[in-house]
Amino acid sequence: MSKGRIRLAHDKLGLFDLVRLEGTTWIVRDTRGNEYRVPPEKRKLFRVVQDSTSTTISTSPNTPRIIPANPGLHARRIIQSLRVGLPSLDDRTRQLAVGFEETKRFIRRFLTDIGQEGGGAMTLRGSYGQGKTFALRMLEELALENGFLTARTEIDATENCLNKPHHIYHDLMRTLRIPKATGSGAPILAEKVVRHLDSECGRSPDRRTLYLEAKVNSYPLDWLLSDPDLLQKPELVGLFAADPQYPASRARANHCTLADSTIWPAFTAGTQGDFASYLISGIGRISRMLGHQGLVVIMDEMEKWHELNWAQQVQAGNLLGGLIWASTAETGKRRPEDQPVELIHSGRGGGFPFTTNNRCHVGIAIAMTPRDDYDDSQLWSHFGPVLYAEVPTLTAKKLEDYCTRVMPLIAEAYGLREPTSEELKDISEEAIAIWRTHEEWNTRYGVQAAIAAFDHWRDRLEVDRHKDDE
């Protein structure tokens, strides 16, 4: 990667370099040299990839630590990320999160509910640019550091609609991450399950099935994963991921134990919220079987719910409501007769349970930009208890505090002395003044204003240095 540029990753399109800014629009270049424009509302589709200048070393059994091989260059890349409004989330940038202390406590409480209580649901609300994407990244990274599997999806109005549970499930399986594992997606989890079953059960499909029934208790998954040759059968791994290239009929015919559509139906209908919720519940149980804490499912842009018509919202409610109930229902109150009356079973395969008999250790994190004319808590609370949190709002005092926190990173990045207290006061005041020139006083613009004020301070130092040389 060229110096001064930032390497970005798009989950579907691959790697890009951030080349330059044109106003608030990014210009990015793919690995073949093609350039594309990325407007502000599309930035959240990208994430910063770890610098090639950094080395990962393990400091504890659970938490890898990133050590930059070139601290100055690493710091400059962090500053450049902040300048364009896309902070990477390593130890350094997490420490810059002014005002997010309550959000961190909220996230830790949510993770405790999943790991110790058996599951949980939360909603994180924040307006555009307020730091919602940063908070979601914080949730994902903290979950991985604490031994949880994570999966995320962004709701949209075309492919990943809430009333298309097969698309949502497929996207979650595509982004699935496992602590300390290289890579992501269903194949990684399938490999770990096969290795675990080889060790615990040998190659007998019957023994593997009985073991999975006891540990997972999601009978489609119990059947699918019992094949000892799973990894040599792409149609089975593809079925696990709901890959449309591998139809259910083909996978059923190639499994060592043949099955009909009541075990794993064709997964294409918008009414199959029950099946998707049941599979996700089972994956939470799989995570515990493998020695992890549970599964955190992150669903962003949930305000797209309002763009669905009534019939679509009914279908979407089966998926989202089913997941909330699956995550929060207590032991002994998880039978079909206990489920909320708003949940409707699909007709596919005779209908499936929305969740496992025992708690599944799944956490559902719903993120959205709130609407003044709608209170979503009245709808989702019907399915189970949901924690509600707001992304913190930036204030002038918080922006001043941010300048103090980012100051050492600026000095490290450019090999400068740290500003004096008087200089820092001037920098903070300038940052606040720049921030207030924006129509929206959100967190993203505040961070960019702080970096701009430090850039101006650096320019003044350069001018003073030239005067001294003369």
3-state secondary structure 380-432: HCCCCCCEEEECCCCCHHHHHHHHHHHHHHHHHHHCCCCCCHHHHHHHHHHHH
- pLDDT score recorded for residue 69: 47
Query: Considering the chain, what percentage of its residues have pLDDT values greater than 90?
Result: 47
Q: Which of 223, 356, 333 is nearest to 278 (CA)?
A: 356
> Residue range 443-454: average pLDDT?
89
Residues whose CB is less than 8 angstroms from the CB of residue 321 and which lie 6 or more positions away in sequence, other chains included: 273, 340, 342, 343, 380, 382, 383
Residue 242 in tokens? 């709901």
Query: Which carries the bigger pLDDT value, residue 290 or residue 7?
Result: 290
Residues whose CB is less than 8 angstroms from the CB of residue 40 and which lie 6 or more positions away in sequence, other chains included: 24, 25, 85, 129
Most confident of the following: 101-110, 125-134, 228-237: 228-237
> How many whole angstroms separate alpha carbon 152 and alpha carbon 172?
5
Please state, in angstroms and as integers, the Cα–Cα distance from residue 276 to each residue in 293, 335, 355, following that order. 21, 17, 9
Is the pLDDT at 55 greater than 80? The verdict is: no
- pLDDT score recorded for residue 273: 93
Residues whose CB is less than 8 angstroms from the CB of residue 230 and which lie 6 or more positions away in sequence, other chains included: 190, 193, 194, 224, 236, 237
- pLDDT score recorded for residue 358: 95
Is the pLDDT at 108 greater than 70? The verdict is: yes
**Lowest mean pLDDT: which of 67-76, 276-285, 310-319, 422-431?**
67-76
* Chain-centre distance for alpha carbon 79: 23
Q: What angle do CA 99, 422, 85 make, to 5 degrees?
A: 40
Full-model pTM: 0.81
- pLDDT score recorded for residue 382: 85
Work out the pLDDT band at 51, boundaries 50, 70, 90. Answer: very low
Work out the pLDDT band at 67, boundaries 50, 70, 90. Answer: very low
Is the pLDDT at 64 greater than 60? The verdict is: no
Report pLDDT digits (tens) over 72-106: 777 787 787 777 766 655 556 666 677 778 888 89
- pLDDT score recorded for residue 44: 67
Please state, in angstroms and as integers, the Cα–Cα distance from residue 156 to each residue in 117, 168, 378, following that order. 32, 10, 22
Residue 388 in tokens? 């509600």
> Residue range 190-199: average pLDDT?
97
Residue 185 in tokens? 């997606």
> Residue range 209-229: average pLDDT?
97
Burial class (CB in 10 A: 0-12, 13-18, 19+), 468: exposed
Is the pLDDT at 360 greater than 60? The verdict is: yes
Is the pLDDT at 62 greater than 60? The verdict is: no
Please state, in angstroms and as integers, the Cα–Cα distance from residue 416 to each residue in 92, 242, 274, 459, following that order. 18, 53, 58, 12
Work out the pLDDT band at 70, boundaries 50, 70, 90. Answer: low
- pLDDT score recorded for residue 87: 61
